[in-house]
């Protein structure tokens, strides 16, 4: 390969959990042509490709990844359509997501301000349909451009073909590994936020006696709430929320409410309900639980932090302990949120 290729790269240096083995090859790309060239060379050499953004929602195994890790560094922030009510912005996949949110808020554009502070890159946002505090990427995505490794072509995928659901999309499900997202286009509103606000946001507004709510206020509120609940991965290795919040059927919720009348829940589409998995883990007596050098974060049971773990096996061990304990207590199977880099 003619590109600047790094070899035998320790992946713990590129992921916020600071665990895992090495990648046989790693290449940083900052243009569409680089992406196309990399995939074509990989195909000739029969090497798998894994796309990595900020490494904040990825778990790597201890075995060497015998392929190419593509570091997506494609930049761009361009207004591509504008009218009295909305603005469409095309964003390079390698842009830091929180910087995108900050710029949008600075432009007075509403739609992603509650997703302030989410680590990672813009290109990773559609993969798991990232969201927080009542907003998710599916709400604002118009379309995205991607390299399609199956057809060796650049394609435009409209939002309604991404098959978005709670923390999921075709990119981590039915078409996992097929596409490398190059840019995303968001449609944002020229409007200030309006109530009702997400419960924890509303609580923050009331507790701080905020009389006038605007986009900047929401952004600051979210950043402050996150800083109280989530560790800074630069100081404490973690992958953010390690478990997805749990979707359950109405009968399961009713069973929970028999013992816990105050169980927090949110009605979702299809007659299901979202229950905070952190609440389930806490009620199972696992907040602060430590094992194999990993710990359930005391401030947020949804988070696993790496205190002294040395490998993927340590992470897998505590993950299975937590999943089994929650299942034994509630009959509910919780799911890991981060993707795993593996062959």
DSSP state for residue 239 in the 8-state scheme: E
Please, which residues bridge with residue 190 across strands?
none
Q: What is the pLDDT of residue 2?
A: 59
Tokens representing 324 are 């089994």
Which residue, among 84, 78, 114, has the nearest Cα to 186 in the 3D structure? 78
DSSP state for residue 170 in the 8-state scheme: G
Distance CA 283, CA 331 (A): 13
Whether 200 is catalytic is no
* Active-site choice (241, 272, 295, 319): 241
CB burial string 79-102: b at 16+ within 10 A, e below: eeeeeeebbbbbbbbbbebbebbb
* Helical ranges in 161-265 per DSSP H: 199-207, 215-229, 250-259
Q: Tell me the per-residue pLDDT of 168-201, one tens digit each, with 9 for 90 and over.
A: 999 999 999 999 999 999 999 999 998 889 889 9
Distances (CA, A) of 176 to 51, 195, 244, 339: 11, 37, 18, 10
State if pTM tops 0.85. Answer: yes
Beta carbons within 8 Å of 341's beta carbon, 6+ residues apart: 11, 20, 50, 52, 58, 59, 60, 61, 65, 69
Query: Can you tell me whether residue 98 is helix, strand or coil?
Result: helix
Question: Other C-beta atoms within 10 Å of 258: how many?
Answer: 8
Q: What is the pLDDT of residue 28?
A: 96
Question: Other C-beta atoms within 10 Å of 15: how many?
Answer: 23
CB of 288 within 8 A of CB of 282?
no
Whether 335 is catalytic is no
Distances (CA, A) of 200 to 132, 218, 274, 314: 11, 11, 15, 33
Which residue's entry shows tokens 């603005």? 87
* Active-site choice (61, 116, 167, 226): 167
Structural domains for the chain: 5-72 (3.30.43.10), 77-189 (3.30.465.10), 238-341 (3.90.78.10)
Which residue, among 85, 143, 136, has the nearest Cα to 113 in the 3D structure? 136
Whether 241 is catalytic is yes
Please list the ranges in the chain whose pLDDT falls under 70: 1-2, 343
Q: What is the pLDDT of residue 1?
A: 47
CB of 265 within 8 A of CB of 251?
no
């Amino acid at each position: 390969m003619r590109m600047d290729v790094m070899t035998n790269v320790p992946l713990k240096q590129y992921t916020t959990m600071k665990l895992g083995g090495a990648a046989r090859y790693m290449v940083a790309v900052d243009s569409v042509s680089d992406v196309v060239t990399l995939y074509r060379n990989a195909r000739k050499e029969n090497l798998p490709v894994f796309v990595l953004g900020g490494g904040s929602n990825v778990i790597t195994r201890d075995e060497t990844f015998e392929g190419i890790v593509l570091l997506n560094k494609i930049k761009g922030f361009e207004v591509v359509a504008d009218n009295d009510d909305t603005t469409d912005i095309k964003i390079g996949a390698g842009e830091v997501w929180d910087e995108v949110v900050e710029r949008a808020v600075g432009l007075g554009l509403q739609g992603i301000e509650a997703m302030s502070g989410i680590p990672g890159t813009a290109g990773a946002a559609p993969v798991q349909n990232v969201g927080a505090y009542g907003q998710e990427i599916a709400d604002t995505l118009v379309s995205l451009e991607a390299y399609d490794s199956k057809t060796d072509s650049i394609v435009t995928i409209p939002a309604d073909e991404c098959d978005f659901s709670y923390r999921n999309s075709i990119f981590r499900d039915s078409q996992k590994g097929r596409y490398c997202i190059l840019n995303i286009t968001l449609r944002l509103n020229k409007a200030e936020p309006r109530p009702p606000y997400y419960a924890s946001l509303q609580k923050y507004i009331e507790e701080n006696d905020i009389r006038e709510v605007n986009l900047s206020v929401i952004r600051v509120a979210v950043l402050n709430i996150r800083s109280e609940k989530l560790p800074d991965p630069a100081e404490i290795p973690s992958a953010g929320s390690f478990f997805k919040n749990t979707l359950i059927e109405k009968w399961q919720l009713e069973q929970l409410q028999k013992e816990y009348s105050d169980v927090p829940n949110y009605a979702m589409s299809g007659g299901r309900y979202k229950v905070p998995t952190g609440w389930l883990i806490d009620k199972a007596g696992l907040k602060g639980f430590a094992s194999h050098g990993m710990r359930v974060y005391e401030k947020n049971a949804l988070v696993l932090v790496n205190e002294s773990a040395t490998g993927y096996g340590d992470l897998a061990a505590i993950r299975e302990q937590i999943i089994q304990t929650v299942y034994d207590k509630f009959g509910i199977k919780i799911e890991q949120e981060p993707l795993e880099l593996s062959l």
